Amino acid sequence: MKRSTKVAISRWVVWACLVNWALFLLLLVVPFTGDFHSYFLLYSFALLPLLSFASVIILLQGLTTRDPKREKSANGMAARIIASLIIGAIVVTVYSITKSLWISPWDITLNRFAYENIGGGAGFVAVLLLFILSAIQKDIYWVARGKTLQLDERQAKDRQQVFEKSYKIGAFLVLLSAWFFEMKLHSLPQIISINAGSIPGDIYWLPYSLALTLFALPLVIAAWRKK
């Protein structure tokens, strides 16, 4: 398939996604108008996730295929905002999941499942934002793509400094997490008793959050470096 054809198809997919989202949100707030209203909402529920996923992939590919030497947006305002949102989402995940561990599933006064949903949702948002930030930064600070990039001497030096700082901060976070786990290890039997003798599955979001933080550190540090 010719490149011009691929570009045209990509644009149509993105525009179709935007138009469908606009109509979907509009129909949510306007008074009900009959069969067309309900049919379009059902159609949107089925098609919008696919269109949205395809549009995100197209936009990310458009960012990452640009020349890595033109990385002016690597630590621009958008990159810094997304980097801050990633850290915020990880903090929300850790707090919400930790909070849910101490709430019984049968406690009607506190909604344990709300905390679990918030924590899991924030974790998925952090993963998505991580890929977006990597795309904005042309994958310069993404671990899996560093060897395939053609970087000049200044970029290679900057990248090395970013990863060195990330290594130091990451090592500190691992030690801090190990210390915190050791301090709270005695609470594990109580958590198991609250959850009817089993370990809640959402507890695994805690080590996932640590791993996600280690992956995010180079990108976040790069976003907040001085130009």
pLDDT 10s digits, 3-49: 566 667 777 777 777 777 777 777 666 666 667 777 777 777 777 77
Choose from 16-20, 42-46, 78-82, 144-148 the range with maximum mean pLDDT.
78-82
Provide DSSP, the chain.
--HHHHHHHHHHHHHHHHHHHHHHHHHHHSPP-SHHHHHHHHHHHHHHHHHHHHHHHHHHHHHHTS-TT--GGGGSHHHHHHHHHHHHHHHHHHHHHHHHHTS-TT-SSS-HHHHHHHHHHHHHHHHHHHHHHHHHTTTTT-GGGGGG----HHHHHHHHHHHHHHHHHHHHHHHHHHHHHHHHGGGHHHHHHHTTTS--GGGGHHHHHHHHHHHHHHHHHHHTS--
Residue 226 in tokens: 């001085």
- Whether the CB-CB separation of 221 and 144 falls below 8 Å is answered with no
CB-CB contact of 61 with 6 (8 Å): no
Q: Which of 90, 102, 112 is nearest to 184 (CA)?
A: 102
Percent of the chain with pLDDT over 90: 13
Are 213 and 173 a contacting pair, CB within 8 Å?
A: yes
192 phi, psi to nearest 5 deg: -65, -40
Residue 189 has pLDDT above 60, yes or no: yes
Q: How far is CA 157 from CA 80, 160, 161, in A?
A: 21, 5, 6
pLDDT at position 148, please? 59
Residue 203 reports pLDDT greater than 70:
yes
Look up residue 3 and give its two tokens. 């490149």
Mean local confidence (pLDDT), 58-63? 62
